[in-house]
Amino acid sequence: MAAIGALTVLLASLNFVNLTTARATRRAIEVGVRKASGASRTDLVIQFIGESMIYVALSMVLALALVEVLMPYSTLFWAGRILFDYWRSPDLAMSIAGAVLLVGTLAGAYPAVVLSAFPPAWVLRNRSGGPIGSQRLREALVILQFAILIGLTVSTGVLYRQTNFATRQSLRLDKDQVLLIRGLAPRHSRMK
């Protein structure tokens, strides 16, 4: 289950990076106008990474709210209690904050570095909507997303079959001819 959760987070992160990259290349004219009006490359990098951080932070707040709302229903499914006390566990809270920083930085880094590197005249003349390598990166991210989805589908099927076998299949043991005696010490439990 942890692997499925990790793959789901990785898939969502790749999807976010892909969407951010696609959206940022459409904003090439804005970048050109800002650079022509005096914005430095550092200003543009800070803007793109800052926007990504805001999106990821808002998404994390929404995800934590959904976890809080759906946690009672998941405990019914798992037949036990799952603890997700991020407000009491500093390690878990730091992991969540680290994930926000990592995904936000990675999602904003490519558009920030690549788009801010082009001269304003080239960006304003070019009407294609983005730099040359951005299409290849998006295609590679989509292929990686499909590979992860296939892995998730296969692992979900295996997990379902294993859970079904463990809970519903017979133990292949004749339970009618078994005698269980409690309270005897292990050396005295021999049947004669």
pLDDT at position 61: 92
pLDDT at position 188: 53
Q: Provide the total of helices (H) and of strands (E) in the chain, helices listed first.
A: 6, 0
pLDDT at position 114: 76
Q: What is d(CA 84, CA 80) in angstroms, rounded to the nearest whole number?
A: 13
pLDDT at position 19: 79
Domains in the chain: boundaries = 2-167
pLDDT at position 104: 85
What is the DSSP secondary-structure string of 53-109? HHHHHHHHHHHHHHHHHHHHHHHHHHTS-----TTT-HHHHHHHHHHHHHHHHHHHH
pLDDT at position 86: 76
pLDDT at position 183: 66
Task: Check: CB of residue 71 under 8 Å from CB of residue 84.
Answer: yes
Q: What is the pLDDT along the chain (192 residues), one digit of tens a residue?
A: 677 777 777 787 788 777 777 776 677 778 878 888 888 888 888 988 898 899 889 998 998 888 888 877 766 666 666 667 777 788 888 988 998 898 888 878 877 887 777 777 776 676 555 555 667 877 888 888 888 888 888 888 888 888 778 777 666 666 676 676 776 555 555 554
Q: What is d(CA 40, CA 100) in angstroms, rounded to the nearest whole number?
A: 26
Q: If residue 3 lies in a helix (H) or strand (E), which one and from where to where?
A: helix 2-26
pLDDT at position 58: 94
pLDDT at position 101: 92
pLDDT at position 25: 66
pTM value is 0.66
Q: What is the DSSP letter of 188?
A: G
pLDDT at position 57: 93
Q: What is d(CA 157, CA 159) in angstroms, rounded to the nearest whole number?
A: 5
